[in-house]
Structure 1
Amino acid sequence: MEPMDVDQSSPRGVKRKADDALEVSAPRRIRALDPDVVNKIAAGEIIVAPVHALKELIENAVDAGSTNLEVLVKEGGLKLLQITDNGHGIAKEDLSILCERFTTSKLKSFEDLTFIGTYGFRGEALASISHIAHLQVTTKTKESNCAWRAYYDSGKLIPAKPGQAAEPKPTAGRQGTQITVEDLFYNVPTRRRAFRSASDEYNKILECVGRYAIHCDGVAFSCKKHGESGTTISTQSNASTIDKIRQIHGSSVANELVEFTSSDEQYGYRASGLTTNANYHVKKTSLLLFINHRSVDSSNIRKAIEQTYSTFLPKGGHPFTYLSLDIDPQRVDVNVHPTKREVNFLNEDEIIEKICSDIRVKLASVDVSRTFMTQTLLPGVRIPLATASSDVDDSSSNTTVAASTQKPKPYENNLVRTDAKVRKITSMLPPSMARSATEASIPSGSVGEPEYEVSDREPVTCRLMTIKELRTEVRDSMHNELTEIFASHTFVGIVDTRRRLAAIQGGVKLFLVDYGMACSEYFYQVGLTDFGNFGIIQFDPPLPLRDLLTIAATKEKELHPPENEEDDFDITEAVDLITNQLISRRDMLLEYFSLTISPTGDLSTLPLLLKGYMPSLAKLPRFLLRVGPHVNWTSEKECFETFLRELADFYTPESLPPEPGPEDVENIPESLKERRREVVKVLEDILFPAFRARLIATSKLMKGSVVEIANLKGLYRVFERC
C-alpha cells in the first residue's frame, strides 16, 4: 500500500515550535458586507423554520385587531404558508415600504421600547421573509373601495409578471390582510435541505397556532393543510380558555384543570393561568407561557414548576400548565433575542418563587388525596366462563381467557350504573318514604290517555328571516358540554316539586337541574323549530275569552294589590282591551301559532308542542292575560320571541306545594296528590327523554339551573381516607 499524500504546507492540528516561521501575508482589509448578504444573515437569525415565520405573521395579525385568523399550510410551510385575517388592513400608501427593514407603526423612539404593549415592534418580520421567500400581500382597509395586491422580493416591490409595473394592483377582497409566503428558503438550499419531514414542521405549526388560540381571547383560529377540506385546529372567538384547551389538547387535560392567580405590587406583576391537578401527569412538561401576552420559553420557570409538582406527582410525572404573566413593561427587556423568544425582567427569582408558591397552595387545597384506581367484581357482572365451570375443555377455556384479556379493565370509579336489575336507591329509604316514592312512580288510573287525530295538512316551510335569526341565536349560545350531558343523561328522580328540582346522572357525575328553566328553554326551542306547523289542542265547546281573562285579572289584583292609584286598573277595561287586541290579531295567531279565536271572542284551539303532554289548563287564564301586555306586537322579531317565551312558560310544569311530613300525608287533598303523580310521571317519561333527544343547552342554563352535586371520582377520594 502506497503512503497517503499529505499536504505539508499548511499543517493543521500539529503543535509547532515558537521559532518555526510561517509565511505571514498582508493584513486583510475590512470592508462593508453587501446589503443582500446582511439581509440574508438577519433573515437567518429571525426565520429559522416555517413556524417562526408563522409566529411573526400571527402576532402582526393580532396586533391589527383581527378576530378571525385562517392559516393554510402546504408541505410543512416550505411550499406555502398563508395567513388571512380580518384586521384593520394596510393603507395603500404604506405598501411601498412594507417590507423594508425597521419599518414599523409601533415605535417612534428608543424610549418606546420600555412601554411595549404589542407583539411585533422592530419591523423585521416581513423584511426577513421577503429575502428568503416569494411574498405576496393582499390587503384592504375599511375606508378603501377595493383591496390592493403587491409582490415583494428582497424587501422591494416587484411586478407580478415580467414587463409589468411593480406598483400594487387593485383587486377584489374583504377587509383585512392576506399574506402568502411561497417557496420558503428557496435561495438558501443548505437550510432547506435540513428540513427532512414536512409532517414534523406541520406539527410545530399546529403547536404554535394552538398556543395563540388558547391565549388570545376573542380571536377565532383555524389551521388546515392545503387541499384538505377539514381543519386540523378550529376554535371559536367566544369559547372559554378551558373549552379551547379541551378542543386542542383533549378532555383528559381539560377535566383536571385548576385555575390559579398570583400577584405582588412590590414586584409589579400579575399572573393567572390553568394547571392540572395531581390526577393528571405525562412524561414531559407542557408549558404554555405568555409574558405580557408574548409566547416565550423560560427554562427557569419550567424547572420551578416541575419542582413544585415533584411532591404531588409520581416519579417521572409532569404537568400541563398555561401561565399568563403580566409584568410592568418598564421592568421587562423584550429586545434581547432576534425572535423575541426570550425576555429578561427584574426580580425574576422572586416572581417565580411567588407564583410557584401560589400554585402549591392551590394544589394542596384541591387535591387533598391521590386517586388510585382498583378493579373489583361489581354486582350483576357475570363471572368469566373460563373460571365459572370446570367441565369445559382446555381449548374453549384458553379461547375464553384470551378473549377476556383483550377487554379494558372496568375501573369502578369510571363505571356508570345503568342496570335496572341491581338494587335501587329507593330500597335504602325508610318504609314510609319508600312506599310514597313507589306510589309516585305509578300512574294514577284516573288519568286518561288523550285521543289524537292525524291531520293531512302539508308541513309549511318557514322562510321568515326573523325566525332564522332567533334559531341562530340559540345555536350560537349553545354550551357544548352541558348539551352533551343532557343528550346522554340518566334520569334519577324528582327532588323538590316546589322549587322544581330534579336529579340526573351524566357519566360519573350527579347534577341537580332546575327543570322549570330547562322546560321553558326546551319549549321555546320547540316553538322556533316547529314554527307554523304546530298541532292543536281542541276545546269542545270553545272557551269564552272574556271569562278567562276576567278570572286571571281578578286573581292578579288579589295577589298583587296596587300600592297607589297610578298602578290600579279596572278589570273590565283591561279585559276589553286585551280581548280586542287578541281578536284583531286572530289571523296571525292562527297562521303562525295554531291559536284559534273566533270573531266573537271564543277560544277554540291552542298549539300542541309535545305529543303526550298536556299543560296545566289552570295556567291558561294567566297565559292569555300576559299575552296582551307582555308581547311586543309592533316588531316582528320581538313579537315572535316574546310570544314563544310566554307560550313556553305556559307549557312549563307549575310549582307544587312542598312535600308534607309523614304525619300530614292523610291531610293532603286528593287532587294535589293526583297532580303530583302526573307531574312526576310526565317529567320522567316524556319531558326528560325529550331533553335527551333535542334540547340545545344554552349558556343561560349553565348559570344556576344546573349544579354538580356529586362526582364518583371525588367520592372515591373521600372514602379512600375513611
Structure 2
Amino acid sequence: MADTMDVDLDDGPRGAKRKADELDDSNAPRRIRALDQDVVNKIAAGEIIVAPVHALKELIENAVDAGSTALEVLVKDGGLKLLQITDNGCGIDKQDLPILCERFTTSKLQTFEDLQSIATYGFRGEALASISHIAHLAVTTKTQESNCAWRAYYGSGKLVPAKPGQSPDPKPVAGRQGTQITVEDLFYNIPTRRRAFRSAADEYNKIIDMVGRYAVHCSHVAFSCKKHGESSTSIAIPANASSVDRIRQIHGGSVANELIEFSTSDDRWAFKATGLATNANYSIKKTTLLLFINHRCVESSNIRKAIEQTYAAFLPKSGHPFVYLSLEIDPQRVDVNVHPTKREVNFLNEDEIIQAICEHLRSKLAAVDTSRTFLTQTLLLGGSWSSPAAKQATAATPSKTGGSDSRRTPSRPYENNLVRTDTNLRKITIEYETVDREATPCRLISVYELRAAVRDDMHHELTEVFASHTFVGVVDERRRLAAMQGGVKLFLVDYGRVCFEYFYQVGLTDFANFGIIRFNPPLDIRELLNMAAEHEKKSGSSLSGTEGEDDFDATEVARLVAEQLVERREMLLEYFSLEISPTGELLSIPLLVKGYTPAIVKLPRFLLRLGPHVKWSDEKACFETFLKELASFYVPEQLPVMPGLEESSGSGTVGGEKDEAGLDAEIIARRTHVRWALEHVLFPAFKSSLVATKSLMEGGVVEVANLKGLYRVFERC
C-alpha cells in the first residue's frame, strides 16, 4: 500500500485525494517515459534562472563578452515586470538570430575539451534559452557591418511573432551598434515561483548589488542602473573611473578612504591575486567580499572564512572587513561547470592558494596599519587631570587659531554656550534634506595631507580603548564629563574634547560630501553676525585672539565678515554644504552626523569666527581651520545647572523667576537630546571610526579606576 501511494497516478492532479478502491494493489513497476521537451526546458530554466538577479548576471556576462564598454540596466518591479540591458558591444549577426535562444547554442565552445581553457563568461548557451522559456524575450541588435538593427521576439526558445498573425522573422528597425535585451513578465508561466517573491524592493537591491560587483571589477566598462520611470540612477559609473573611485561611489567614502592595495602570485600553483581591502581602522558587522575567479563573480565559503580569520587579529570583536579579490588561475586547473548558475567553481590546490593569499594580506595589514598592536607600557602615562572648564578655549581650538580668554569668569554662562532662553526671540525651523546624489570623490592633495596628519598623530592604545569601550554614562554636563569602561579600567572622558576631534575627522573623511541642514525661512547672515559681534564686545572677548584688541566696531566687523562669506559662497557650498545667497541669506549648513543636532544658538559666533580665524589665502590651512571651527560649532555645549539647583553664588541663577518654567523646559529638552545623542550616536561613532590622537592624553581621557588595582586594595584590607 505504501509503495502504491508514493507513486503519482496519471488520472487526477498530483496530491488529489483518491478513494481506496481506485488504488492498484498490483506490484507491477510503473513504466519509465521521457518527459515532454517543454517540461525539460522549464526544469532547466528553473535551475539556471532562480531569481531576476540571476537573469541579469547572465546578461551582464554576455554583454561584457561582446566587448561592451557601456552597459545600461533598466528595472521595473524588481526585474519581475521588466529587466532590460543595453550594451554597445559587437552585436549579433542576423543569420544567428533564429537559433539564438535554442539550448546549447554558443560561440564559445566547440568540443568538451574547450572547457579546460575557457576564458569567457558565458559558454554553455543556456542563459537566453532558459529566459525565453519563463519570460517574454525581445532582442534588438546591430553589428558594425549591418545597415540597420534587427528586432526579434522569442518564446520557448523559438522565434515568435510580435503580434498574432504576423511573421516571426526578425524585423529591421533603427538602432545603434550593440544589443538590447528586454525581459518582460519573468516567471509568468510559473505562478508558484512568481508568488514566492514578496518584495520587489528586495529583488532590486540584489540587482543593485550584482551590478555594483561587476562595476567594481570591470574597470574599463561604464555601468548605469535605474528603476523604470525614474530620472535618477541608482548606480552611474563612468568607464574611466578607477577601482577605488568605483568602490567609493558604490560602497561609500568610509570604505574607499581606508583601502589598501595588495597583489601576490605563485607559479607553483599557477595563480595571481590582486585586490583592495580595508585596513584595521574600518570594520562592519558583516563581511563584504567581492570575489572574482577568472573574472567571473563567484562565492566561496572557504575563502570568506579564511579572510575573516585573517582579520580577526586586527579588528575588534564582531568587526568584519570589506575585501575585493580578483583571482586569476590557469584555466586548465579550474572546473567552471559545477553549478547551474556558475556561482561556484572548483580549482586545484585550493588550500595552498587561500593560505598564500591570506598570508600576503596579513603582512600588508601589519605593515600599513599597526593601530591594533598592544604595547607593554602603561596607558596614558603622565596624564594629569585639569578642569575641562578651564580648558574650554583650548578644547574648542587645539591649534593656535585664537579664541576667547579662558581666564575670564563671567557672572553667568555665555549665551552662545546655552540653549535659547528668550521665548520672544524668533524660532528657527530646521529641515533635514535628503540628497539623492553621487558621492563626490576628493582628489585634493591638501585634504589627503590633513588626513595623513591625523593618522600620524594617532595614539594606538587609546584608539583601541575607544574601539572596544562600553559607555557608562554622563557624569557632569556642565564640565562635559562622561564615564566609559575599557577592559578592566574605568575612564573619565572630557567628551567636549573628544567630540571636537571626532567632528574634525568627520569633516576630513566626508569632505565635499556633507549632508544638509536647511533653514526655513532663511536667516539673515548680517543680523546673525551683528548679534555675535555685539555679544563678543560686551563680554570683552578679542576676535583675533590677542590681548588689547577687544575695542572694535561691531557693526564694521560684521559687515566685513559678511562680505567675505558672500564672496566665497560658491566654494563654501561646493566643499562644505554651507549655502549663502548672493543677497546674504543663510540657506543651509553642513550636517555631520545623523541623529545629533548642534546647538543653533552657537551659530552666530561660528559664522563670526569664520572671518578672522579661517586662513583663506592658503588652501590647506583654509580647509584645516574651517573644519576646526565647524567641529567647535558641533561640540555639545556646556549645559547650565537647572534653576533652583545651582548653589547660591555671585553668579546667581540663570534667568528670572518668571522665566524659570520656560527655561526648565528648554534646558530639559536640550539635556535629553545631548544625553541621548552621546549614548546612542556619538560614543558608538567613536567606537567605530574615531582615531584617538595624542593630544587627547593631556586631560581628555583619564583613568580613574583599575579592577586589578582595586583587588590589591581589598587584599590589604
Residues 89 and 29 of structure 1: CA distance in aligned 2, closer, same or farther (over 3 Å): same
Letter in 1 for 2:347: F
Aligned to 2:37: 35
Q: Report the equivalent of 1:16.
A: none
- Report the secondary structure of 2:83's partner residue: strand
Q: Does 1:325 align with 2:327?
A: yes
User: CA–CA distance in 1 between the matches of 2:157 and 2:361?
Assistant: 47
| Structure 2 Cα separation of the partners of residues 252 and 395 of structure 1 | 35
Label 1:401 to 1:114 Cα distance change in 2 as closer, same or farther (>3 A): same
* CA positional deviation for 1:379: 2.1
Contact kept, 8 Å, 2:338 with 2:346, in 1: the verdict is yes
How far apart are 1:716 and its partner, in Å? 2.6
Q: Which residue is equivalent to 1:54?
A: 56
Please say if residues 413 and 716 of structure 1, whose CA atoms lie closer than 8 Å, have aligned partners that are also in contact.
no
Q: Give CA deviations for 1:235-275 in whole Å, capped at 9, x if unaligned.
A: 00000111111101111111111111111111110101111
- Alpha-carbon contact 1:262-1:272 (below 8 Å) kept: yes
* 1:411, distance to aligned residue in structure 2 (A): 4.1
CA distance in 2, matches of 1:153, 1:311: 55
Distance 1:371 1:361 in 2: 14
Q: 1:239 matched to which residue of 2?
A: 241
Question: Which residue of 1 is the match for residue 504 of structure 2?
Answer: 415
Q: CA deviation at 1:108?
A: 1.0
Matched letter for residue 213 of structure 2: R
The answer to which structure, 1 or 2, has the higher relative contact order (CA under 8 A, 6+ apart) is 2
Aligned equivalents of 1:244, 1:385: Cα separation in 2: 53
CA distance in 1 between counterparts of 2:199 and 2:411 reads 49
Matches of 2:362 and 2:180, distance apart in 1 = 44
Cα distance change, pair 10–37 in 1 and its aligned pair in 2 (3 A): closer
SS at match of 2:188: coil
Which residue in the other structure is 2:394 paired with? 379
Task: State how far apart, in whole Å, the 2-side matches of 1:50 and 1:508 are.
Answer: 50
| Alpha-carbon distance in 1 for matches of 2:208, 2:411 | 48
| Number of aligned residue pairs | 440
**CA offsets, 1:613-660, max 9 Å, x none?**
xxxxxxxxxxxxxxxxxxxxxxxxxxxxxxxxxxxxxxxxxxxxxxxx
Amino acid of the structure 2 residue aligned with 1:116: I
Provide the secondary structure at the position in 1 that maps to 2:225: strand
For 2:695 and 2:330, the matched residues in 1 are separated by: 43
Q: CA deviation at 1:122?
A: 0.4
Quick one: percent identity of the two aligned structures? 64
Which residue pairs with 2:86 in the alignment?
84
TM-score by length of 1: 0.54
Paired residue secondary structure (1:337): coil
CA offset at residue 290 of structure 1? 0.3
In structure 2, the CA distance between the partners of 1:159 and 1:366, relative to structure 1 (3 Å rule), is same
Q: Which residue of 2 aligns with 1:355?
A: 357
| Alpha-carbon separation, structure 1, partners of 2:6 and 2:115 | 50
Q: Is the 8 A contact 2:141 2:179 kept in 1?
A: yes
Asked if the contact 2:615/2:625 (under 8 Å) is kept, the reply is no
Alpha-carbon contact 2:74-2:83 (below 8 Å) kept: yes
Q: Which residue number in structure 2 is paired with residue 697 of structure 1?
A: none
Work out whether residues 395 and 500 of structure 2, in 8 Å CA contact, stay in contact via their aligned partners in 1.
no
Of the three residues 186, 197, 208, the one matched with 1:206 is: 208
Cα shift readout 1:331-377 (whole Å, capped 9, x = no counterpart): 100000000000000110011011011111111111112499x9995
Q: Residues 95 and 719 of structure 1: is their aligned pair in 2 closer, same or farther, counting only changes over 3 Å?
A: same
Q: Name the SS of the counterpart of 1:410 in structure 2.
A: helix
1:311–1:144 distance in 2 versus 1, CA, 3 Å: same
Q: Is contact 1:369–1:717 with CA below 8 Å preserved after alignment?
A: no
- Distance in 2 (CA, whole Å) between partners of 1:67 and 1:91 is 19
Structure 1 residues 169 and 425: CA distance shift in structure 2, 3 A: same
- Deviations along 1:675-720, one digit per CA (max 9) or x if unpaired, are xxxxxxxxxxxxxxxxxxxxxxxxxxxxxxxxxxxxx987937998
Q: Specify whether residues 330 and 226 from structure 1 end up closer, same or farther in structure 2 by C-alpha distance, changes over 3 A only.
A: same
Distance 1:389 1:426 in 2: 17
1:410 to partner: Cα distance: 2.2
Deviation of residue 132 (structure 1)? 0.1
Q: Is the 8 A contact 1:158 1:166 kept in 2?
A: yes
How far apart, in 2, do the equivalents of 1:290 and 1:341 lie? 10
Structure 1 residues 356, 170: CA separation in 2 closer, same or farther (over 3 Å shift)?
Answer: same
Q: What is the match of residue 120 of structure 1? A: 122
Deviation for aligned residue 1:504: 4.3
Q: Deviations over 1:62-101 (max 9, x none)?
A: 0000011000000000000000000000000000000000
Offset of 1:229 from its aligned partner?
A: 0.7
TM-score where L is the length of structure 2: 0.55
1:330-349 pair list within 5 angstroms: 330-349=332-351
In structure 2, C-alpha distance between the alignment counterparts of 1:204 and 1:319, rounded to whole Å: 20
Give 2:279's aligned residue. 277
- Alpha-carbon deviation of 1:494? 9.2
SS at match of 1:415: helix
Residue 258 of structure 2: aligned partner:
256
Further displaced range: 181-190 or 22-31: 22-31
In structure 1, the partner of 2:133 is 131
Q: What is the one-letter code of the residue matched to 2:227?
A: K
The 1-side partners of 2:418 and 2:66 are apart by 75
Report the equivalent of 1:96. Answer: 98
- Name the SS for the 2:394 alignment partner: coil
The AA in structure 2 aligned to 1:102 is F
Q: 1:247 to 1:96 in 2, by over 3 A?
A: same
1:178-211 deviation per Cα after TM superposition (whole angstroms, max 9, x unaligned): 0000000000000000000000000000000000
Report how far residue 278 of structure 1 moved: 1.1
Q: Aligned letter for 1:225?
A: K
Say if 1:224 and 1:232, in contact at 8 Å, map to a contact too: yes
Equivalent positions of 1:489-568 (< 5 A) are: 504=621, 506=623
Alignment RMSD: 4.6
Deviation, structure 1 residue 26: 1.3
Aligned positions of 1:612-651 closer than 5 A: none
- Matches of 1:40 and 1:10 in 2, distance apart? 27
Q: Which residue of 1 aligns with 2:288?
A: 286
Residue in 1 aligned with 2:46?
44
Tell me which of 312, 315, 330 is aligned to 2:314: 312
Q: Secondary structure at the match of 1:237?
A: coil
- Measure the CA separation in 1 of the matches of 2:281 and 2:223: 30
Contact 2:281 2:371 in 1 (8 A): no
Tell me the distance in 2 between the aligned counterparts of 1:163 and 1:423. 88
Any conservation in 1 of the 2:616–2:622 contact (CA below 8 Å)?
no
- The answer to whether the 8 A contact 1:137-1:177 is kept is yes
Cα pair distance change 1:114/1:277, threshold 3 Å: same
Q: Is the CA contact 1:278–1:312 (under 8 Å) kept in the aligned structure 2?
A: yes
Find the counterpart in structure 1 of residue 149 from structure 2: 147
Q: Secondary structure at the match of 2:166?
A: coil
